[in-house]
């Protein structure tokens, strides 16, 4: 299945064309077998409703006919232009458990409806928009944490990154196997990263800042990244260590759309941590590219010094690139496809969890190649890691030493 089957899932449509204008002369012929009420609404609710809902992060809702039909031409253009969703992994080059794939028959239904007069359908089948998400998708978490004080996003602030430190309260070490995020102000929480801090650095920075949270001064490797609509992943046999007495640090990017500019918001995001004590610990490492490309490419690799099982990848690219490719190179020279991203976009940080972990024996390499645009320039992107190289890649893996 080609990647064009994944273009609407849980994403904020850019919709550069804007809403279509009402027809002044005549009526648009109805040529679609599919109607909004019967066929299209269930797709929008399931695949797009996390963002495109009243009060959501997207600049428009698609969950009523009156809200959706003015955007039909733009939806069609975005589908055909492969500009969405934020899920960027190329189908067939690695398989992922959190992949966002819109089935081909649903894609065809949307295209036919948008081009065929976008009929509403039977008035007695008008769907009821879903209630706001206020509960956990994965059930009750082991540990629930809430930002201690609401953070106010002023009317004149369009975008800001804020960190918050929270005491886990654990008396014994646990391992994090899943993280859910519930913002109280869904319209402006663009993405969230979660860290574990045993140094007290984040708590000290939080205490020193008179406002809730703090602006900077903390770096680490995230145990979770989240954005609205992203499929929540739980791990069965592995987890990230959360030592006794450790703090949980939340990094939130607050960002307004053209709809919410000039408005004030208050947010008090909640975290739901799923914990276990009988799973293997995940280890992580960050790979860094060189600063200057060679023939429009940044190529770098990581030597595997002991057998490891590769669980997932979290890339960051803050330079204009057309492609990012990650391969496993085994000692015999054979290559294993791991991840291929067209048009990398740092605005949607995604951890790509392998559907089946990749075993990399001692002597293997993990090779990363970023192909840049002519005259590629760096972008002002705040890294989730400690590195400021143009291309970064976080590896999540288990090894014999990590298990012991």
| pLDDT band (50, 70, 90) for residue 86 | low
pLDDT at 84: 59
Dump strand ranges (E) for 270-307: 270-276, 280-281, 283-288, 297-303
Measure Cα distances from 59 to 16, 120, 151, 383 in Å: 12, 22, 22, 26
C-alpha 267/C-alpha 270 separation (Å) is 10
Q: Is the pLDDT of residue 265 over 80?
A: yes
pLDDT at 85: 61
pLDDT at 347: 82
Q: Is the pLDDT of residue 19 over 80?
A: no
C-alpha 166/C-alpha 145 separation (Å) is 7
Q: Tens digits of per-residue pLDDT, 224-259?
A: 999 887 888 889 899 999 999 999 999 999 999 888
pLDDT at 4: 38
Mean pLDDT of the chain, nearest integer: 86
Q: Tens digits of per-residue pLDDT, 315-367?
A: 999 999 999 999 999 999 999 999 999 888 888 889 999 999 999 999 999 99
Q: Tens digits of per-residue pLDDT, 136-149?
A: 888 899 999 999 99
Within 10 angstroms of residue 177's Cβ, the number of other Cβ atoms is 20
Q: Is the pLDDT of residue 14 over 60?
A: no
Q: Is the pLDDT of residue 18 over 50?
A: no
Q: Is the pLDDT of residue 1 over 50?
A: no
Q: Tens digits of per-residue pLDDT, 104-135?
A: 888 889 999 988 989 999 888 888 877 766 77
User: DSSP string of 318-380?
Assistant: -B-EEEEEEEEE-TTS-EEEEEEEES--TTS---EEEEEEEEE-TT-EEEEEEEEPTT--B--
pLDDT at 226: 92
| pLDDT band (50, 70, 90) for residue 30 | confident
C-alpha 51/C-alpha 10 separation (Å) is 6
pLDDT at 382: 78
Percentage with pLDDT > 70 across the chain:
89
> How big is the CA angle at 55 (ends 147 and 75), to the nearest 5 degrees?
130
pLDDT at 48: 79
16 or 43: which leads in pLDDT: 43
Please confirm whether the linkage preceding 85 is cis (ω < 30° from 0). yes
Percentage with pLDDT > 90 across the chain:
57
262 or 13: which leads in pLDDT: 262
Which domains are delineated in the chain? 3-125 (no CATH), 143-280 (2.60.120.230), 283-403 (2.60.120.230)
Q: Tens digits of per-residue pLDDT, 91-103?
A: 888 889 887 767 7
């Amino acid at each position: 299945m080609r990647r064009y089957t994944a273009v609407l899932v849980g994403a904020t449509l850019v919709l550069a064309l804007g809403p279509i204008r009402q027809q002044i002369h005549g009526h648009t012929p109805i040529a679609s077998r599919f109607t909004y009420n019967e066929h299209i609404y269930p797709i929008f609710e399931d695949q797009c409703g996390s963002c495109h809902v009243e009060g959501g992060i997207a600049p428009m809702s698609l969950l009523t006919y009156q809200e959706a039909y003015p955007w039909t031409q733009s939806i069609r253009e975005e589908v055909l232009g492969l500009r969405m969703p934020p899920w960027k992994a190329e189908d067939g080059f690695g398989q992922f458990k959190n992949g966002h794939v819109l089935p081909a028959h649903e894609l065809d239904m949307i295209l036919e409806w948008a081009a065929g007069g976008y009929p509403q359908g039977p008035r007695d089948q008008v769907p009821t928009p879903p209630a706001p998400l206020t509960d956990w998708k994965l059930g009750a978490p082991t540990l629930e944490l809430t930002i201690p004080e609401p953070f106010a996003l002023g009317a004149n602030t369009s975008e800001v990154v804020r960190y918050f430190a929270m005491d886990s309260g654990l008396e014994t070490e646990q391992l994090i196997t899943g993280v859910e995020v519930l913002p109280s102000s869904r319209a402006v929480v663009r993405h969230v990263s979660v860290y574990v801090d045993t140094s007290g650095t984040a708590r000290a920075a939080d205490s020193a800042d008179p406002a809730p949270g703090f602006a900077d001064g903390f770096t680490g490797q995230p145990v979770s990244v989240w954005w609205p609509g992203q499929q929540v992943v739980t791990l069965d046999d592995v987890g990230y260590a959360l030592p006794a007495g450790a703090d949980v640090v939340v990094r939130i990017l607050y960002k307004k759309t053209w709809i919410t500019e000039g408005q004030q918001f208050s947010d008090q995001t909640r975290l739901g941590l799923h914990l276990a004590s009988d799973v293997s610990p995940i280890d992580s490492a960050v790979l860094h590219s060189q600063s200057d490309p060679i023939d429009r490419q940044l190529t770098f690799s990581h030597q595997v010094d002991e057998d490891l099982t590769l669980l997932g990848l979290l890339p960051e690219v803050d330079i204009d690139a057309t492609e990012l490719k990650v391969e496993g190179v085994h000692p015999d020279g054979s290559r294993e496809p791991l991840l291929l991203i067209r048009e990398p976009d740092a605005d949607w940080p995604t951890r790509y969890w392998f559907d089946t972990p990749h075993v990399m024996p001692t002597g293997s390499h993990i090779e990363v190649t970023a192909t840049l645009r002519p005259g590629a320039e760096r972008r002002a992107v705040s890294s989730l890691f400690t590195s400021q190289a143009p291309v970064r890649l976080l590896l999540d893996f288990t090894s014999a030493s990590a298990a012991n």
